[in-house]
Structure formats: structure tokens, C-alpha cells
Amino acid sequence: MSRLLRASTLIGQPVVTLQGESPLEIKDVVFDTGEGAILGFTLRNHGFLGGPVRRGLAWGDVHGLGPDAVVITDASVLSTDNAPATSGGDVIGDRVITQGGTDLGEVVEVVVSTGADADVVGFEIKPSESFGGRGDHNIFIPLPDTMAISGENVIVPDNAADYVRDDLTGFGGAVDDFRAQLGEDS
Amino acid sequence: MRWTAILGHSVVDTKTAETVGTIDALVADPDASQVVAFLVAGRAVSWSDAGGIGSDALTLSDGNREGDLLHPPSSDLELRAVAGAGDPLGKRVITELGHEIGSIEDLEVDAETGAIGQLILADDQIKGSRLIGIGSFAVMISSPSRARTGDADGADADADGLDSLSRAELYELAQERDVVGRSSMSKEELIEALS
């Protein structure tokens, strides 16, 4: 498992070409609420007052996703044609519910793996009281490759609760173990 | 020879013994990891025409007339250098996987061939062959995993390949894979953890 990041930390990161130019920066992360995947990014000009632009970056055009930059092969992939629809909705605030019907908590952050094959691997959630919630202490829950997501709820397998971690350190291993477990079951 | 030491070299026409200018900028081709030309007083001279650089001066010689060797900047790389876009000094260094690992302090350039042997950072050296791009925002380098295996994921490379990497490169790989405790590991421990 590669290094993990909270998706919101990508906001403001430079989009850098392999030629070393940075035409724009990340304005927002666009999720596909149907698939639980990241569709891509909306973009803005550099700087605090940088205005939004119509051009977007599709997830499939990302060459490398790291903690310091989103790398693309060249600026031609930044086109209005590729702009992800911003009406895709937001998983932040969704309830995470197991297939068995337990409410685990509320999504506060999306966790992505970095590198050349970046992926949504988990959620940071504010745990429900029934799931040991103590108010201010968030937990991390791994996600399967595909899951059902609506504008209100995310459905996860029952055993996802067994792979919860308190922080991002070691969470990558928990995701790997969880997904390996799912693979054996199916 | 260091990139910064080449800057400011006198350019001397050996036929007339006149100094025709000083080297104002170097023109690098990142794809080839090679210095390909110099800018001298608004004009360009290609490395192949100059035939290497001396320790104190760039000499234009062997019957070549100055007027033939110094040409108006014409190639894309030369024009970028005129605009200041191709200068790597001081630029941040970013890997193709989005890790910023420092900034360029200098470059080691082979005085005969112009090959860029090393990128020199404050506390690290990176093989010149990993150079991908020199832009106005950053100097881009390939990931050590890709540079070694030549394929997209590189995660299954064998331990033999790891042995050939420096500790700094191994540390970069450990960052990519989020190896716990990497900062206190020796080179051998990093190889063990990455194998």
C-alpha cells in the first residue's frame, strides 16, 4: 500500500506537468457518489485569490498523485471536455452503514492512496455512539473496491468494522488486509 | 564540472584571440540529460560545435569562424533558455509521483560531452539520467521505482535492483510505499523493508 492522504489535502496542490510547468492548482475534489471513486478535480489559477477556470482534470489523466503535487503528462489533458461534473454530490456527511444495519458513523474525510495507481481506500468517520464514539476522536474505516453510495448513506460489508484504525499510520495495512479478506470470501 | 562554474566562462575565438563574450546561460535537454548549448550575449552556440569546455574558457577553434558558430537562438530549447524557463538552479525538484524532495543547488556536467551526471541538492544527489523536465515551476525527475524497472507500477522489482540504489533513492521508495519507521533505517534495513 502506498502512502495515504486525506483527499482535502489535495486542494490547493499544484498541478504539474512532466515538463515542470504548473498551469493551475486543485480547486476541489469531485467524487462519483454512485461508485465511491474520485471522478477528477476542478481547477483554479494559482494563489489564494486564484479564480476558478472551466478546465478540469479527469482522474484517469493523473500521472502521479503525491503529497506535494498532482502530476500530469502535459497540459493538453486539462480541457473543458475533461472537466468532471461538479453536480456529482458529496460523500462528506453521509452515514456509513453496514450491510447488517449498524450505523458506524458520519463521513468527515475521504482517504486516498497515492502513487501511479491512486484510489479511494477509506473514510475518516466520526463514529456513532453505538460504535464507541467519544465525540471528538475520529476513526478510519477501509472500503471495498466497489460499494453502494447514495447522497445519504454508504453501505459497507459488516467486517469493515473489524479493520478500523485510530490514525492513518498503519491504516494502509488494514485496507490491504480488509480487501484480501473480501477477496477470499467471494 | 559544476553548472555554476561554467556560467561566466569567457568565450574566446582562438583564431583572433578575441573574447567574444561570456556564457550567460546553459541550455539543457532534459530528455537526453545533456547540456546542448550555451547562450553568449544573446546568441547561442551548440555544445557539439564548441567541442567541450575548458576549465576557464570556452574556445571556438579549428578554423571555425565565430560568425558560423554563434547563431541566433532558434531551437525550442534555446528559445526557452532565452526566456529563462530552462534554468534549473534553485528550482524545486518533484518526482513524477508528486513528491517534492528538495531544490537544485547545482548540476555536475561532463566537460567533454555535456552529459548531466548528477543533480545536486542540499543534502542529496540524484542521477542525471532521472531528469524528465526543467520547467518554470519545477525540475521533474522519474520515480526511482520507474527508473529502475521501466514499467508503470514497479512494485514487484527484485532485491537486486534495490542494491543499486542510493540510500536517498531507497528512502524515496519508502516514502512512496509509506514504510513505517523509514527515517531511522539504514540502507540495508530499507532494502529489507522494500524487498
ipTM: 0.81
Distance from CA of B193 to the nearest CA of A (A): 13
- Select the residue of B140, B153, B178 nearest A20 (Cβ to Cβ): B140
CB-based burial label for A101 (10 Å; 0-12, 13-18, 19+): exposed
CB contact under 8 A, B95 and A63: no
Stretch A158-167: mean pLDDT: 90
| Average pLDDT of the residues of chain A | 85
| Contact present, B95 and B69 (Cβ < 8 Å) | no
pLDDT tens-digit series, residues A13-30: 999 999 999 999 998 888
A117 to chain B, any CB pair closer than 8 A? The answer is yes
Mean pLDDT, chain B cut into blocks of 10 residues (195 residues total) = 94 84 94 93 87 84 62 90 89 93 95 93 90 94 65 44 78 81 87 85
Whole-number Å distance between alpha carbons of A14 and A5:
15
Percent of chain A at pLDDT > 90 equals 35
Q: What are phi and psi of A156, to 5 degrees?
A: -120, 155
Residues 6+ apart with CB under 8 A from A16: A22, A69, A70, A71, A72, B94, B98, B135, B137, B138, B140
A166 to chain B, any CB pair closer than 8 A? The answer is no
Residues 6+ apart with CB under 8 A from A80: A54, A55, A56
Which has the closest alpha carbon to B48: B39, B37, B59, B58?
B37
